[in-house]
Structure 1
């Protein structure tokens, strides 16, 4: 067996058009904690205790282009884990009611016959995020 050279995700960096908007979503809606930042970049660090996200503000948000997951190489989406079906349903109720969230795919089985459920949204600022129950 080959020794693995990595040990999971250290952090994920996401470029956002508006740090205050991103902070409000991750901290206010999802309950993440703001755990640091670099005002001169500018960036903030947020965490749910299991993952650390670096949210960087685009240098020129007015001219920045949104990522097209079907045409560009890069992050297709970020998938965040939830504990179970009840947690997924509660999160869906909260997130789908947010006025700046765009629903990409409502809650459903991840694939036919799977007990794993998920949904996908575009958060304020346009980044695509998936929320999923554990693999079953």
Structure 2
């Protein structure tokens, strides 16, 4: 995969979430689009603002074709737990579920929604 593009309703809040909370760096932006291009050295994400926020249709993962969620790797279960605690203290996301076993384990995952509502899964797969 080269990059993933996400349409967002609040470009600045979503950019702040990815940079301030998740540690992504801004590679660039295009104010005419408008969009931000972000990277964490493993994954590149393009965030672009929806054209007409008043007419937006919220994504329903059970009824729409499209991105179900973005899954990002976390190095360890301990770091996943720390990330969960950090995200609980933020007011710009919604936690769908806290870290739990993925299937029978030992991998664990959690799911959130970033400020514009896109679903992000964080997953730790112990070696």
Q: Which has the higher contact order (CA 8 A, sep 6+)?
A: 2
Same fold? TM cut 0.5: yes
Query: For the superposition of Structure 1 and Structure 2, which TM-score range results when normalised by the shorter chain?
Result: over 0.9
| Equivalences, count | 127
Unpaired runs of at least 5, structure 2: none
In structure 1, what is the equivalent of residue 120 of structure 2?
A: 129
Q: Provide runs of 4+ in structure 1 moved above 2 Å.
A: none
Q: Give the alignment's Cα RMSD to 1 decimal.
A: 1.1
Greater displacement, 117-126 / 60-69: 60-69
**Any conservation in 1 of the 2:76–2:126 contact (CA below 8 Å)?**
no
1:114 aligns with 2:105: yes
Tell me, in whole angstroms, the C-alpha distance in 2 between the residues paired with 1:116 and 1:13: 27
Tell me, in whole angstroms, the C-alpha distance in 1 between the residues paired with 2:28 and 2:58: 26
Give the TM-score of the pair, scaled to structure 1. 0.89
Give the TM-score of the pair, scaled to structure 2. 0.95
C-alpha deviations, 1:71-116, integer Å up to 9, x for none? 00111000000000111011111112211311111110011x2100
